[in-house]
Chains A and B, each alone.
Chain A
Amino acid sequence: MLKLPIYLDNNATTPLDPRVLEAMMPYLTEVFGNAASRNHPFGWAAEEAVDYAREQIAKLINCDSKEIIFTSGATESDNLGIKGVFEMYSQKGNHIITATTEHKAVLDTCKHIEKLGGRVTYLPVNEQGLISLEELEAAMTPETILVTIMYGNNETGTIQPIREIAKIAHKHGALFMTDGTQAVGKIPVDVIADGIDIMAFTAHKLYGPKGVGALYVRRKNPRVKVTAQMDGGGHERGMRSGTLNVPGIVGLGKACELARLEMDADSARLSAMRDRLERELLTLEESYVNGSREHRLPHVTNISFKYVEGEGLMMGVKDLAVSSGSACTSASLEPSYVLKALGLSDDLAHSSLRFGLSRFTTDEQIDYAINHVKEAVTKLREMSPLWEMFKEGVDLSKIEWAEH
C-alpha cells in the first residue's frame, strides 16, 4: 500500500538515510567526548571521528580536509562567508555582488552588509533564472571583494554558470563564494575545477541530519580567511567557535560519502523520474515549467498551472507534500520572489508547485502524484471563472478587475 501523504519536498529537507543514522549512533551514546578535549581518549575518539568526516566531505567536493569549517547549517555558513569576508577584506573594498534569486540567508545577510556601510549589487536573472555574465562583468569594480552566486536554485533547480562566474570574479581580484546547499551531493561539485573560494552547504539536504553544515574556505591560491562571527574557544582554525556537533558531523561525513558513491546512479534515476512527472503534467493545457530546463538539478521541477490559484491547488493536492510559489499565510499574498524575478506574473507565480524528488522516491509515488495533480488542476479549473473566460477567448488582461 502506498503511504500518504507522499513527500516530494526534498528541496526543503531530505529524510535521514538509515546508513547515516547508523554511523551517527555511537556518537550519540558511548562516544560522547568533546573533540577539543586533547588530554584523554574520550576527546581523541571524538576528534578522530571529526577528522574522518572532514576527509569524507573533502573527497566529495575535491578539497583538502583542513578547508572545511563546521557550522550549524547553510544559513550560518552563508552568514559566516559573507560577513566574514566583508570584515576580513574591508581594507581592500566594500562591494559585494549577488543575485536577486539567492536564498534569504544570502539576501538578508547582504541587506545587513548594506546597513554596515557596504555596497551590494543584486544582479537580475533572465526568464531561465540565469544571471548574465556581461552584467556581472560590468558590475565588477576595484572595490568588489566578493561575488556570491548560488550553485543551484532551491525553487527552480536552475544551475548558474559557476565556472564562468568564478573566472570573472578572479579576473577582477574578487573572491567567489557559492551557496551550494542544493547542489552538493546532487551533482558533481569540484571546488578546484569550479574555481570556488568559499562554499556553504548543509547535511539535511543530502540525507544527513539537521543542525549541521559546513563552510568550505580555500587555503591556497589564494589563501582565504573569514572573520569569525562568534567569539569563543577559537575552534575551526579560529573561524567558528563552539564545541563541535560530533554526531552531526559524523552524519554529514557519511552523507557525503554516500553521495559520492551513489550520485551518478541517483541522478540518472531521479532525472528520469522527474522528466516523466514533468512530461505527464505538461499534458495539462496552460502549464509551464519555471526556470531553465537545460541547466538544472536532476531532482527538481517547478510547474505553474495557469488559471488555478496556488493555495486552492495546495489544498487539492493534499496527498502530496510539495511547496507552492505562493506564501499565502496572511491576507496579503506574497508570490515567490524567485519566480517573480524570472518575470512570472503574480498569478502564475501563485499557481506553481515545486516537486523535489529524493533517493527514496519511488515510481509508484510518482504515478500517484501525476494522477493526483491532474485531477486537482482539472477540478479547480472547472470551478474557475478565469478558466471559463480563457476558454471563451476572453482576454483577461483587458478586464477591469475590482482590486480589493
Chain B
Amino acid sequence: MAYSDKVIDHYSNPRNVGTLDKSKKNVGTGLVGAPECGDVMRLQIEVDEATNTITDAKFKTFGCGSAIASSSLATEWLKGKSIDEALAIDNMEIVEELALPPVKIHCSVLAEDAIKSAISDYRVKNGLPALELAHH
C-alpha cells in the first residue's frame, strides 16, 4: 500500500511519543482500540486547570503506519487548544491532513475516540460527568 508523505513523516518521526503521569489530577488518559483488531492507541493530555488549556499531549500506539500517524498528528493539534476546541476535532480533518485512503479511515476515528476518551477521563478526575462516547 502506498502511504502519503505525511503518514511516512509522522511514522518515521513521530511527535510526542511518551507517557504522562496518569496519577496527576490534571492528566487525562484515553486508551482505545483492541490488540486483536490490530490497533491500540493511548493518548494523554495535561491540562492547565486555570485556563482550561491543553499544555502537553503524549501518545503511544500499537498499529499500522496510519494509526501511528493519526495519533501523532492528534497530539500536535491538541497542544495549546482549549478543551472545547479539542472536542471539536473531527476525524475527517485527520483524514484530510494525512490523505488517508478509505480503508484507513478507522485509524482517524480511533484517534478522535482517543482524544474524547482522554478528555472524558480528565473530566471525571475533576468531578465532572463523563462524556458520552460514541462507539465505533
Secondary structure call for the B interface = mixed
Closest chain-B Cβ to A209's Cβ sits at a distance in Å of: 28
Residue B94 at the chain A interface, CB threshold 8 Å: no
* C-alpha spacing A279/B13, complex, angstroms: 30
* C-alpha spacing A386/B105, complex, angstroms: 22
Q: Mark A305-319, 1 if CB is under 8 A from B, else 0.
A: 001111110010000
Which chain A positions have C-beta within 8 A of B127? none
**Smallest CB gap from A310: residue in B:** B38
Answer whether A384 and B38 are a contact pair too, CB < 8 Å, given A312-B67, A331-B106.
no
Residue B56 at the chain A interface, CB threshold 8 Å: no
Residues facing A in B18-73 (CB within 8 A) are 19, 31-42, 60-65, 67-68
Closest chain-A Cβ to B15's Cβ sits at a distance in Å of: 11
Residue B87 at the chain A interface, CB threshold 8 Å: no
Which chain A positions have C-beta within 8 A of B62? 307-309, 312, 383-387
* C-alpha spacing A345/B62, complex, angstroms: 16
A383 touches B61 (CB 8 A): yes
B68 touches A402 (CB 8 A): no
Which chain B positions have C-beta within 8 A of A387? 62
B106 touches A384 (CB 8 A): no
B135 touches A388 (CB 8 A): no
**Smallest CB gap from B107: residue in A:** A331
A312 touches B64 (CB 8 A): yes
Number of interface residues of A (CB under 8 A): 29
Which chain A positions have C-beta within 8 A of B106? 331, 404
Closest chain-B Cβ to A62's Cβ sits at a distance in Å of: 44
Number of interface residues of B (CB under 8 A): 34
Closest chain-A Cβ to B105's Cβ sits at a distance in Å of: 8
Residue A347 at the chain B interface, CB threshold 8 Å: yes
Which chain A positions have C-beta within 8 A of B105? 331
Residues facing B in A372-401 (CB within 8 A) are 382-388, 396, 401
B60 touches A401 (CB 8 A): no
Residue B109 at the chain A interface, CB threshold 8 Å: yes
A315 touches B38 (CB 8 A): no
* C-alpha spacing A404/B63, complex, angstroms: 14
Answer whether A402 and B32 are a contact pair too, CB < 8 Å, given A307-B62, A308-B62, A384-B61.
yes
Which chain A positions have C-beta within 8 A of B110? 404
Which chain B positions have C-beta within 8 A of A386? 35, 40, 62
Which chain B positions have C-beta within 8 A of A326? 38
A385 touches B36 (CB 8 A): no
A388 touches B35 (CB 8 A): no
Point out residues on B near A: beta carbons under 8 Å.
Answer: 1, 3, 11, 14, 17, 19, 31-42, 60-65, 67-68, 103, 105-106, 109-110, 113, 135-136
Besides A312-B11, A386-B35, A404-B32, 4 more A-B contacts (Cβ < 8 Å) are A346-B36, A383-B60, A402-B33, A403-B36
What are 21 A-B pairs at a CB distance below 8 A? A307-B62, A312-B67, A312-B68, A315-B3, A328-B64, A331-B105, A346-B36, A383-B17, A383-B60, A383-B62, A383-B68, A384-B62, A385-B31, A385-B42, A401-B33, A401-B36, A401-B40, A402-B32, A402-B34, A402-B135, A404-B34
